[in-house]
Amino acid sequence: MTNDLQIPTRPARMFIGEELEVTNWDRIQPLYDELLNRPVDSTDDLRHWFRDRSELESYLSEDFAWRYIRMTCDTSNEELVGKLNFFITEIQPHLLAYGNALDKKAVASPFLSELTEEGFAVAVRGMKKGIEIFREENIPLLTELQSEERKYGAIAGAMTVELGGEEVTLPQASNWLQSPDRAEREEAWMKIQQRRFQDKDELDELFDRLRELRHQVAVNAGFVNFRDYMFAELGRFDYTPEDCFRFHQSVAQSVVPMLNQLAGERSQKLMQGESPIDVLRPWDLKVDLYGGEPLRPFGTGEELLNKTIECFSRLDTYLGDCLRIMKAMGHLDLESRKGKAPGGYNYPLEEIGVPFIFMNATSSLRDLVTMVHEGGHAVHSFLTRDLPLKSFRTPPMEVAELASMSMELLSMDHWDVFFENPDELRRAKIQHLESIIETLPWVATIDKFQHWIYENPAHSVDDRREAWVRIFSEFSDSVTDWSGLERFKEYGWQKQLHLYEVPFYYIEYGIAQLGAIGIWMNFREDRKKGLDGYKAALKLGYTAPIGRIYEAAGIPFDFSAEYIGRLLRFVGEELDQIKAQ
């Protein structure tokens, strides 16, 4: 692929035909009816039936993906919003009902046990769980939920503040938090918080609607609460809520003390600086401790992409070629602008097999990390694109995030592409490794908060605010002074998109972060073996349970305090070595 880049084309549509368009449900229904009514009289018939179903579902998945991508690129465009909502309201409800009917047909087949190829066992257990929790009365509720969830992006995407005499998005404003000028940092932090605070009631009301709808879905499906429903819906066969609680405890025991140590060191250093501070405040947490200007690893989105391609290529030629193909196909939108939805993502495109990366780059180190993170997801899509069924190509998030978070660490040896100055490179590595120590407690905070929310579905806004502050305090450092800022702390959870749009999708970041450190440890010991293990695990897609996929990478699937402690000691040792350079 390197010299003569081969741009992939989608496979021919052998079942659905080349002219299909999602203009109304009547165009789609005959295909589902054909699958539902088709006689399956042999193992080969069943295998062919699965391939045809996968072709149809891949097409519809990609159609929805493009609607979502285009809407998030311009949330103010009513036509794009309408096209997405059309799919959610007019197509999605039918897909839920037919999907359940097709699962039942597959599970009832006497030939199912004869499909022994790798992946079918995992797919079948997922279908059986889906049948178990499906309820016809939940279809309109799930449709309403999808529409309500999308409102968060529109609210957050419209948030701007004025800094430096210009209107900027909140991602752009966050760059001011790295300014050596403390007054500038405080101004930026306060404006960001005040802007979010301005919409707190609207976001509370939206969340209340989401919580009520989600709880009703869970009750309809026979669950006590939405948390238990989501564990089933997400197919969490490999761990339980109790394992999550163990993760919370392990992080509190093994990681929060390191967080306190970092905050203490930051406080001492800033107290001794050219403009000494008296106490560590929230706007002091991102500034360089040595008085350096904010790191600017790139200027434009184009530069960010080109440098990432070079970085990936140094690590492995194949990895760089994945991004080159995406660039050639225009499958990226990287720069922040008004009206664009917040956050970043890599969206798989199931037919073509070449994903789309969306982000809000503003020339910061965080943006560099986001790019290599989403690039790791993209590589995962490429490595699984030839698996025969859509379900095989759709790994659980504990594996998907392993791909992205490992890439952050594996690529770090080549960040000199972004930082020619050795001191800046050193600062970037220190900041990133320290951010890992900060990430695990934040993941524990968000995850524990979600457990509380849905274990207490009748809670009030005041109850929720108090629970957030209590849980936030468990996993945050005891050095930073929030005096006079309590009203902002109480609503800190509202900045987390996942709580609104993808509930219970967050612990995966913590699980995968542990796995990524494990892969990085292996990479440090033997570069080739570590990288080969990483790629071997990703190639499996979802044809094996999570534990076996982690095993293929050469790492354990382990939440214990002992294991987390060992991983974090390794990170600490790496940090000490970099700081000593």
pLDDT digits (tens, 9 = 90+) for 36-56: 999 999 999 999 999 999 999
Band (114; pLDDT cuts 50, 70, 90): very high
The CA distance from 492 to 478, in Å, is: 17
pLDDT given at position 135: 96
Over residues 440-461, mean pLDDT: 97
Evaluate if residue 439 carries a pLDDT over 50: yes
Mean pLDDT of 551-568: 93
Query: Looking at residue 411, what DSSP letter applies?
Result: G
CB 524 within 8 A of CB 507: no
- The closest alpha carbon to 345, from 89, 551, 482, 153, belongs to 153
Question: pLDDT at position 3, please?
Answer: 55
Question: What pLDDT is recorded for position 288?
Answer: 85
* 4 pLDDT more than 80: no
pLDDT above 80 (res 458): yes
Pairing assessment for the beta strands 332-335 and 356-361 based on DSSP bridges: parallel
The answer to whether 381 touches 345, Cβ cutoff 8 Å, is: no
d(CA 508, CA 571): 20
The C-alpha angle with vertex 143 and arms to 142 and 144, in degrees rounded to 5, equals 90
**Helix, strand, or coil (residue 408):** helix
What are the tens digits of pLDDT across the range 329-352? 999 999 988 889 888 999 999 999
- Name the H helices within 221-350: 226-233, 241-254, 256-271, 301-315, 317-329
Q: Is the dihedral of CA 474, 479, 482, 488 positive or negative?
A: negative
Report the C-alpha dihedral over residues 430, 434, 435, 438, rounded to 10 degrees: -170
- For residue 462, give both structure tokens: 């005041």
φ/ψ (deg, to 5) at 169: -75, 165
Residue 343: what pLDDT? Answer: 84
Q: Which of 148-162, 314-328, 369-383, 441-455 has the lowest mean pLDDT?
A: 148-162
In the structure, what pLDDT confidence band is assigned to residue 2 with cuts at 50, 70 and 90?
very low
63-113 pLDDT, tens digit each: 999 999 999 999 999 999 999 999 999 999 999 999 999 999 999 999 999
For residue 1, pLDDT over 50 is answered with no
Residue 342 · residue 153 · CB < 8 Å? yes
Domain ranges of the chain: 25-151
**Which of 334-343, 501-510, 512-521 comes out lowest in average pLDDT?**
334-343
- pTM (2 decimals)? 0.89
Q: Whole-number mean pLDDT of the chain?
A: 95
